[in-house]
Amino acid sequence: MRAEMERGRDASLRPAIIRAAVLGAIAAVVGVVLGLLIHWFPAQGSTQAHKIDTFWDVLIIVSVPIFVLVVTTVLFSVVKFRMRPGEEDLDGPPIHGNTRLEVIWTAVPATILIALCAYAYIVLHDVEKAPANGREMDVKVIGRQFTWQFEYTGKDGKKFQTTQLYVPEGRSVRFNVVSEDVLHDFWVPAWRMKIDAVPGITTHYRITPVKTGHTVTYPVVCAELCGLGHAFMRQTAHVMTQQAFDAWFAKQSNPSAAAGGATAGGGAAAGGGANVAAGKQVFASNGCAACHTLSDAGASGSIGPDLDKVLASQNQAFIKQSIVDPNAVIAKGFQKGIMPETFKTQIKPPDLDALVKYLYTVTHK
């Protein structure tokens, strides 16, 4: 009697199951199409980017139907099998265990998962491998509260640092990432690659930059919460033609040839001139330009106060205090704790004096 009743119920449910299956299939197709149409990522700024984007598309194609299947089954059950208190046993006693069902719902997801992991491993291996022709340049990336610093090594082995990232188009670049204080994360979304900057170790990734249309600059972002200034730890990556990059590189690795050579040389005897020139160098190499505006240094940062304005009426003692103890006096419109307190130990005393003198000189003209 009960078996007959259940058979009757199953038959009466069939149209509803078919309806749910059709609706689910439509939702899955719409979901996948939408997922593929949406532009989730910025322009593809590296040769690695399209492989990662393709992997993303595959994940959408596989996971959206599974999500729809689960949601449809849950909704269907909620609607069709809902019961009021006391009605729980109307469709017979609860079922315990169904080996065949359990094997299926373990084996199918396991197979899908292993297949996706294998594919992910292949993609990762592919985007991380060194270029076949061995043509690659190294850039050291230094993370610090709250700026990135980029260090290049010239042909003569001499190093120089910049606050903006410059890379040649179409050439593999290997980034060696370090941190001077806390965890940061070096990320250029357009390149799709990202890695933590960890104090005490060097981490790496490589990409081959490409230009996308007329876009030649991409944002460099810190993707690890590293303090109050985390959100401002943003700089710019410039992708240049090999020719433009070579010219830039030559100028950077031999700055005295371009300008200022006379001042630096002659100033050593005179004292004052060399001091100010050295101070400008200290300003550049400590990433001050990332946060501050200072016209003499071509800096236009807006995270911290505009130095042209706030230092114009201050003496050297005040400037020095603001560097070593930044929270002592806070400029109007800014808040405590943004400027790192590490410059006290990071900048050596003679460099600090040079920096103070430089800042005083260029803001009191």
Report 31-70 residues binding ligand CUA (CB under 6 A): none
Q: What share of the chain is helix, strand, coil (3-state, %, to 5)?
A: 50, 20, 30
Rounded distance between C-alpha atoms, residue 208 and residue 131, angstroms = 9
134 phi-psi bin (left φ>0, alpha ψ -120 to 50, beta other)? left
Pick from 190, 210, 220, 222 the residue near ligand CUA by CB under 6 A. 222
Residues in the chain: 365
Q: Identify which of residues 145 and 172 has a Cβ nearer to ligand CUA in the complex.
A: 145
Closer to ligand CUA by Cβ: residue 15 or 200: 200
Pairing label, strands 136-144, 172-179: parallel
Q: How far is the CB of 224 from ligand CUA (least distance, A)?
A: 5
Q: How far apart are CA 235 and CA 147, in angstroms?
A: 8
Measured from the CB atom, the residue of 233 and 289 that comes closer to ligand CUA is 233
Which span sits near ligand CUA by CB under 6 A: 1-9, 225-233, 265-273, 330-338?
225-233
The site for ligand CUA, by CB under 6 A, has a size of 9
Least CB distance to ligand CUA at residue 341 (A): 16
Does the footprint of ligand CUA cover residue 351 (CB under 6 A)?
A: no
Q: Would you give the binding string for ligand CUA spanning residues 140-179, x where CB under 6 A is met?
A: ---x--x---------------------------------
CB of 289 to ligand CUA, least distance (A): 17
Query: Alpha-carbon torsion 69, 72, 75, 80, what sign?
Result: negative
226-245 positions binding ligand CUA, by CB under 6 A: 226, 230, 233
Is residue 303 involved in binding ligand CUA (CB under 6 A)?
Answer: no
Question: 185 or 351: whose CB is closer to ligand CUA?
Answer: 185
Query: End-to-end CA distance of the chain, in Å?
Result: 103
CB nearer ligand CUA, residue 341 or residue 353: 341
d(CA 149, CA 173): 16
Query: At closest approach, how far in Å is the CB of 205 from ligand CUA?
Result: 17
Question: Which of 323, 290, 321, 295 has its CA nearest to residue 309?
Answer: 295
Q: Which is nearer to ligand CUA, 170 or 189 (CB)?
A: 189
Strand, coil or helix: what is 180? coil
- Shortest approach of ligand CUA to residue 192 CB, angstroms? 19
What angle is formed at CA 284 by the lines to CA 339 and CA 154, rounded to 5 degrees?
Answer: 135
Give the C-alpha separation, 359 to 276, whole Å.
8
**Distance (Å, whole) CA 200 – CA 354:** 30
C-alpha closest to that of 252 among 283, 275, 285, 274:
285
Q: Tell me the closest approach of the beta carbon of residue 263 to ligand CUA, in angstroms.
A: 35
Is residue 224 part of the contact set for ligand CUA (CB under 6 A)? Answer: yes
Q: Residue 150: which of 219, 226, 235, 217 has the closest Cα?
A: 235
Residue 184 sits in the site that holds ligand CUA (CB under 6 A): yes
Q: How far is the CB of 223 from ligand CUA (least distance, A)?
A: 7
Q: How many CA atoms lie within 13 A of 196 on its CB side?
A: 10
Q: 119 is written with which tokens?
A: 């594919």
Closer Cβ to ligand CUA, 226 or 310, answer by number: 226
Subset of 240-299 contacting ligand CUA (CB under 6 A):
none
Q: Which residues in the 86-115 window bind ligand CUA by CB under 6 A?
A: none
What 3-state class would DSSP assign to 323?
helix
Helix (H) / strand (E) element for 217: namely strand 217-222
Comparing CB distances to ligand CUA, the nearer of 47 and 161 is: 161
- In the complex, least distance from residue 139 CB atom to ligand CUA, rounded to whole angstroms: 18
Contact positions toward ligand CUA, by CB under 6 A? 143, 146, 184, 222, 224-226, 230, 233
